[in-house]
Amino acid sequence: MRQEYVMGNGAIALGALVAGVNVVSGYPGTPSSEIIETIAKHSNKDVHVEWSVNEKAALEVAASGAYAGARTLVTMKQVGLNVAADPLMSLAYVGVKGGMVIVSADDPGPISSQTEQDTRAFAEFARIPVFDPSSPEEAYEMIQDAFDYSEKYQTPVLFRPTTRVCHAYASIEVPEEYKVKEYEGFVKDSGKWVIFPRLSYMNHAKIEKRNVEIGEDFSNYRFNTVEVKDDKASKKAVITSGISYAYTKEFLQYHKDVKLIRIATAHPFPESFLLEALEGVDEVLCIEELSPYIEGQVLRIAGKHHLSLKVYGKLTGHVPASGENNANMVEGVICRFIGMKVCKGLEREEKPALPVRPPVLCAGCPHRASFYAVKKAMKGKKSYFCGDIGCYTLGNAMPLDMVDTCLCMGAGITMAQGFHWVDKEGTCFAFVGDSTFFASGMTGVVNAVYNNADMILCVLDNSTTAMTGHQPHPGTGLNMMGQFVDKVSIPKVLEGIGVKKIVTVNPLDLNAAIKAVEECAALDGVKAIIFKSPCIAIEKSDKKAAISDKCIQCKKCIKEIGCPALCVTDGKVTIDTNLCTGCGLCSQICPVNAIGGGSNE
């Protein structure tokens, strides 16, 4: 055994390897991405690990692996679970043979997501178990338990860490090597593996009965815990879960006269456990993030068993209904609950106004050039700019202001079509990254061609999945098994779908890029422009732009593109050479040719 200091996501990955996982698939999404990366780094070639094209594909790959008796792991962020919902809902009815764990990382805040949805509620909806770790150390243990329960009850199980667990670091003890599970292989049985209404009806009844058993089993689960000082009967209890347990513990370690109940398995709910834990308690405070899931269960159980119990939480306004919790907030709500004075923070003099630092596209990012080219070409013409999920969502920032909509993965392509149907005069653009194009953009293009839409698809191809940490994808020619594979060509895909006009252009060649947009805007039907230039965070450049004394201080470069490397120092335009990559975009904008030294020279 050896100690590893790892991120929560790393702990989940290593726990899965200890559990003998055979197949691992997923799609990148903050805060879940490092799970697959850690598996790829630590496993030997006995484990198949892949970035699948999207979450639905990932779940299906893992499902058949589990049908064959292998242990399989699927990873995604919470919105990815929506994409995987179709196979998951049906798989819940069919069941599995080998252990199958679906990690869906929730993002209270939200810090880097579109929604504050709650995977625990999703587990109830799908009628499958869910595990909710409160620390990296616990996640390491609990993911191993999750595989065991999945196999014991032959059902896929959900595992939902939240951002603060995924991105926290802790030390765990891991074995020197990992052994994969030996499995039987797929045994054909169409009465079991082929879903039909009759099978679903029969299995539904079994599932409901089984869930009661799992609830009983979970009542003895080691991570559903009660902590109380000196067996002193406390009339007040805090019920909590996940990271909120850590926040509660941070305060209650010094104030132990409140009973601390932690629910690590929200569904099927460990009812007997809770009933026992609530003995002698007449007031409870539920502290959890996202939905008031446990609070709802406590109310249900209190009603069912006619408990005389006051239940406080999100539903009563005692805990904030949205956003993420933190140690100070939790301390405050507990103090009010137990009638303690809320400890006020240190009173310091009021802070001066702080500079705002919104996230921006990196200096030299080719997306900036792509957006700028479209903006220039369409100046004064009515246009719709549909954005998508990725770094390029940041194209919405001033001064570019080139993203009118952003909804979910791949939506920009189909939304551009919708705008066309309600306004035939406007030109409809969809901006999509290369990874998003493969994940869920292609079907949208088929929809456009089939329905005779009029739109311009702009694929911002930087040859990586940049926002989530540079994962490879089908267009990069590399996979997670470390193999070099044939690149899936975006222009050929578009050609195959039937897009008649496809232009590939380097966005950093501003005039050529503008010309490509103008050319496409003059045509009817579905057109595509592939703005191809590598992500600046991968293809490092030593080039730097330089400003000569020809500069007339008009600041056009700054006002037009908002590159972080362009600054004003003592009233003069300067270039921050620590940031500049010499992309040359600013030198093409300068009206007096005062900027040189970039790739344009």
Partner 1 sequence: MNKNVLICGVGGQGTVLASKLLASAHMRLGNVVHSAETIGMAQRGGSVTSHVRIGNEAHSPLIPLGKADVIMAFEPAEAVRSIDYLKDDGIVIVNSVPVKPTTESLHDTGYDGTVMIEYLKKVCKHLVVVDAGELCASLGSDRYFNVAVLGVLVGTKKLDIDEETVVAEIKERVNARFVETNLKALHIGIETGGKYEVK
Token pair 């999207």 is found at 54
CA dihedral sign, ordered 146, 36, 34, 357: negative
CA-CA distance, 584 to 10, in Å (whole number)?
A: 39
Minimum distance, C-beta of residue 4 to partner 1, in the bound complex (Å): 11
Minimum distance, C-beta of residue 296 to partner 1, in the bound complex (Å): 25
Strands 225-227 and 259-262: antiparallel
Q: Which is nearer to partner 1, 116 or 151 (CB)?
A: 116
Minimum distance, C-beta of residue 34 to partner 1, in the bound complex (Å): 9
CA-CA distance, 566 to 575, in Å (whole number)?
A: 5
Of the candidates 313, 276, 307, the one whose C-alpha atom is nearest the C-alpha of residue 294 is 313
Judge whether 325 and 247 are in contact, CB under 8 Å.
yes
CA-CA distance, 565 to 577, in Å (whole number)?
A: 7
Q: Which is nearer to partner 1, 500 or 559 (CB)?
A: 559
Minimum distance, C-beta of residue 113 to partner 1, in the bound complex (Å): 9
Q: Which is nearer to partner 1, 85 or 551 (CB)?
A: 551
Burial-class residue 209 by CB neighbours within 10 Å (0-12, 13-18, 19+).
exposed
Minimum distance, C-beta of residue 56 to partner 1, in the bound complex (Å): 23
Q: Which is nearer to partner 1, 168 or 428 (CB)?
A: 168
Strands 383-386 and 427-433: parallel
Tell whether omega for the bond before 399 is within 30 degrees of 0, i.e. cis. Answer: yes
Q: What are the tokens at 502?
A: 């496809």
Q: Which is nearer to partner 1, 229 or 310 (CB)?
A: 229
CA-CA distance, 144 to 411, in Å (whole number)?
A: 36
CA 418 to chain CA centroid, nearest Å: 26
Minimum distance, C-beta of residue 83 to partner 1, in the bound complex (Å): 19
Of the candidates 393, 396, 375, 388, the one whose C-alpha atom is nearest the C-alpha of residue 430 is 388
Minimum distance, C-beta of residue 452 to partner 1, in the bound complex (Å): 37
Contacts to partner 1 by CB under 8 A: 3, 5, 7, 30-31, 111-112, 135, 164-165, 167-171, 243, 246-247, 249-250, 253, 326-328, 331, 345-346, 348-349, 351-362, 391, 394, 398-399, 467-468, 555, 558-559, 562-564, 566-568, 578
Q: Residue 418: how many CA atoms within 13 Å on its side-chain side?
A: 9
Q: Which is nearer to partner 1, 217 or 250 (CB)?
A: 250
Strands 501-505 and 526-532: parallel
Q: Which is nearer to partner 1, 191 or 345 (CB)?
A: 345
Minimum distance, C-beta of residue 251 to partner 1, in the bound complex (Å): 8
Q: What are the tokens at 232?
A: 């002193």
Minimum distance, C-beta of residue 589 to partner 1, in the bound complex (Å): 14
Minimum distance, C-beta of residue 43 to partner 1, in the bound complex (Å): 23
CA-CA distance, 199 to 210, in Å (whole number)?
A: 16
Q: Which is nearer to partner 1, 197 or 355 (CB)?
A: 355
Minimum distance, C-beta of residue 576 to partner 1, in the bound complex (Å): 9
Q: Which is nearer to partner 1, 44 or 577 (CB)?
A: 577
Token pair 């009973």 is found at 259
Q: What are the tokens at 575?
A: 């270039």
Question: DSSP 3-state assignment of 178?
Answer: coil
Question: DSSP 3-state assignment of 311?
Answer: strand
DSSP state of 229: G
DSSP-assigned letters across all residues of 223-256: TSEEE-GGG---SEEEEE-HHHHHHHHHHHTT-T
SS (H, E, C) 451-464: CCCCEEEEEEECCC
Q: Which is nearer to partner 1, 287 or 529 (CB)?
A: 287
Q: Which is nearer to partner 1, 137 or 283 (CB)?
A: 137
Q: How far is CA 10 from CA 49, 135, 156, 234, in A?
A: 15, 12, 21, 38
Minimum distance, C-beta of residue 450 to partner 1, in the bound complex (Å): 35
What single letter denotes the amino acid at residue 186?
Answer: F
Minimum distance, C-beta of residue 30 to partner 1, in the bound complex (Å): 4
Minimum distance, C-beta of residue 26 to partner 1, in the bound complex (Å): 17
CA-CA distance, 201 to 526, in Å (whole number)?
A: 45
Q: What angle do CA 370, 471, 507 make, to 5 degrees?
A: 15
DSSP strand E in 411-451: where? 427-433
Q: Which is nearer to partner 1, 117 or 203 (CB)?
A: 117
Q: What are the tokens at 541?
A: 């450049």
Q: Which is nearer to partner 1, 135 or 150 (CB)?
A: 135
Minimum distance, C-beta of residue 235 to partner 1, in the bound complex (Å): 24
CA-CA distance, 200 to 194, in Å (whole number)?
A: 10
Residues 6+ apart with CB under 8 A from 563: 363, 364, 368, 557, 585, 586
Q: Which is nearer to partner 1, 25 or 393 (CB)?
A: 393
Could you give phi then psi for residue 102, rounded to 5 degrees?
-105, 110
Strands 310-312 and 157-159: unpaired
Q: Which is nearer to partner 1, 398 or 422 (CB)?
A: 398
